């Protein structure tokens, strides 16, 4: 069963883990998408829960049949009764707590809260939506006015796929260039390449755009080619500490910056202006 691209991105970690905990309820493709979304957020999927304690489905999923719901209600009621009886027995058998022991218990130090660094990719959906509008605003008004409804939708969808992949690429490569450690770099680079595959699938068709939008499409396609090559080499270059010195990668990154400057003035990720290449033309008379 196919689902919308943003279906799993809208799920909470608990809802995604529910898919992993209940493999018998879902198709293998859905389970793999849930695991992939957990990994994208920097969360390792937990092993499936024991079959003896079935988990309740999240609210966003389809309700179980009435018979199953009643069976679950009876099981929960029985568990509560059994738990209450066991608690009463334990309380009756336990010796009374002395004042000294109670004081000792109260003096225990509170648990410490530890800060744990996360390597999850941020959600760039808002930045993507804003980039689409800014890019479309650069198309001359006269060209936009002549645009029919279908080409306008096609242009928006192409832009959405492009910036969804480009924002993640910029975030991942910028962190790598800054030397920030990321144990999930290889897995996240593969995830971003999958986002570029969604662009590739749409870019193979022909579109009836005006001159400015056609130029945008050409720039997006060239950026996509460069970025996919950089992502493919990224983990190895980081391991070898050659990301900032490799001549080919440096040249590709400069061309990416120049091409992006024709789409937007500044990065939606860092806010820094895209750099334009300065071309020196020497004329001999």
Q: Token pair of 196, please?
A: 């570029």
Better-scored residue on pLDDT, 181 or 190: 190
Res 43: pLDDT: 74
Which candidate, 231, 224, 271, places its Cα nearest to that of 249?
Answer: 231
Res 42: pLDDT: 75
pLDDT at 183 over 80: yes
What percent of the chain has a predicted confidence (pLDDT) above 90?
53
The answer to whether 148 and 164 are in contact (CB under 8 A) is no
What are 266's strand-pairing partners? 273
Q: Which residues contact 233 (CB under 8 A, 6 or more apart)?
A: 246, 249
pLDDT band of 122, cuts 50, 70, 90 = very high
pLDDT band of 79, cuts 50, 70, 90 = very low
pLDDT band of 90, cuts 50, 70, 90 = low
Question: Tokens 């590739």 appear where?
Answer: 200
Largest CA distance in the chain: 106
The total number of residues written for the chain in this structure: 285
pLDDT at 272 over 80: yes
Res 109: pLDDT: 59
- pTM score, two decimals? 0.60
Q: What are phi and psi of 62, to 5 degrees?
A: -65, 140
Return mean pLDDT, the chain. 79
In b/e form, how buried is each residue of 49-67, taking b as 16+ CB within 10 angstroms? eeeeebeeeeeeeeeeeee
Mean pLDDT, rounded, for 278-282: 58
Res 253: pLDDT: 96
Mean pLDDT lowest among 19-33, 82-96, 140-154, 259-273: 82-96
pLDDT at 113 over 70: no
Res 159: pLDDT: 97
Res 67: pLDDT: 46
Res 27: pLDDT: 76
Mean pLDDT, rounded, for 163-188: 94
Res 31: pLDDT: 77
């Amino acid at each position: 069963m196919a689902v919308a691209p943003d279906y799993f991105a809208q799920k909470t970690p608990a809802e995604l883990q529910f898919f992993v905990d209940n493999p018998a309820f879902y198709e293998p493709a859905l389970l793999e998408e849930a695991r992939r979304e957990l990994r994208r957020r920097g969360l390792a999927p937990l092993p499936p829960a024991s079959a003896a304690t079935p988990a309740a489905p999240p609210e966003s999923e389809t309700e179980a049949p009435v018979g199953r719901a009643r069976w679950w209600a009876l099981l929960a009621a029985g568990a509560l009764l059994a738990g209450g009886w066991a608690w009463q027995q334990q309380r009756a058998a336990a010796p009374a707590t002395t004042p000294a022991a109670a004081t000792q218990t109260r003096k225990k130090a509170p648990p410490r809260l530890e800060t744990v660094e996360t390597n999850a990719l941020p959600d760039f959906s808002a930045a993507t939506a804003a980039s689409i509008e800014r890019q479309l605003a650069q198309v001359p008004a006269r060209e936009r006015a002549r645009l029919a409804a279908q080409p306008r939708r096609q242009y928006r969808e192409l832009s959405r796929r492009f910036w969804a992949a480009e924002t993640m690429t910029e975030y991942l490569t910028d962190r790598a260039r800054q030397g920030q450690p990321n144990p999930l770099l290889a897995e996240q680079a593969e995830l971003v390449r999958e986002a570029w595959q969604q662009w590739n699938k749409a870019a193979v068709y022909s579109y009836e755009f005006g001159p400015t939008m056609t130029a945008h499409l050409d720039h997006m396609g060239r950026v996509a080619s460069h970025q996919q090559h950089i992502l493919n080499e990224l983990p190895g270059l980081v391991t070898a500490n050659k990301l900032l010195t490799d001549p080919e990668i440096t040249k590709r990154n400069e061309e990416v910056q120049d091409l992006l400057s024709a789409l937007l003035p500044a990065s939606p990720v860092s806010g820094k202006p895209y750099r334009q290449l300065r071309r020196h033309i020497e004329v001999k008379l």
